[in-house]
Amino acid sequence: MGRKLNDWNQVNPENSAGPISYFGKIFAMLLVLSLGTGAVVYVVSYFQEGAQVVKEETSPRVLLRKYAWFKDVSATLDAKAKNIEAQKARLKALQDANTEDGKVLPRSKWARTDLEESNQINAEISGLTADYNGLAAEYNAAMAKINFRFANQGDLPAGADKPLPREVRPYQ
């Protein structure tokens, strides 16, 4: 009745695809499966990395460090503002010492030591003001970042009695 095929030479090439076709189908299925699996792994790892970043940025240790940084910078800015005011008071006292009939004498009539001291005080005021403004800009930039929003005014941690300012104005 039916004849059994013992080798490929007996197969009619018009009716049979042969072994290459079977391997091709298996290869195509494996390729599609691996591409699909790769895409799923990529998407999962993308979200997993996002979750890891959130975990790292909102851990209690990191939040405490960031809040302490804001408190330290705020205190430093307050100290710098007081130092600027102290230098301005020194300059005012020097000007008062060089006042006659309620008017400050022209600098050309000041003693040489007073002129040198006045120049030194003005240089110190300029340096302190520049330092204050640089630190204030860093504070403001950090406060605007989304991962520092927890320190914004109105969102106080338990036990805090004075909120940190949202923004520090440059010293005029």
For residue 41, pLDDT beyond 60: yes
Residue 14 in tokens = 């018009």
Residue 122 in tokens = 């003005």
153: DSSP letter: T
pLDDT digits (tens, 9 = 90+) for 81-127: 999 999 999 999 999 999 988 898 898 899 999 999 999 999 999 99
DSSP, collapsed to helix, strand or coil, labels residue 157 as coil
For residue 49, pLDDT beyond 90: no
* Straight-line distance from the first to the last Cα atom of the chain, in angstroms, rounded to the nearest whole number: 108
Between CA 134 and CA 123 the distance in angstroms is 17
Measured between alpha carbons, how far is residue 60 from residues 57, 67, 133, 147, 150 in Å? 9, 10, 30, 13, 12
pLDDT digits (tens, 9 = 90+) for 121-130: 999 999 999 9
Which residues fall within 8 angstroms of residue 156, CB to CB, at 6 or more apart?
A: 163
Please answer whether residues 163 and 156 qualify as being in contact, where contact means their C-beta atoms are separated by less than 8 angstroms.
Answer: yes
For residue 12, pLDDT beyond 90: no
Residue 10 in tokens = 């007996």
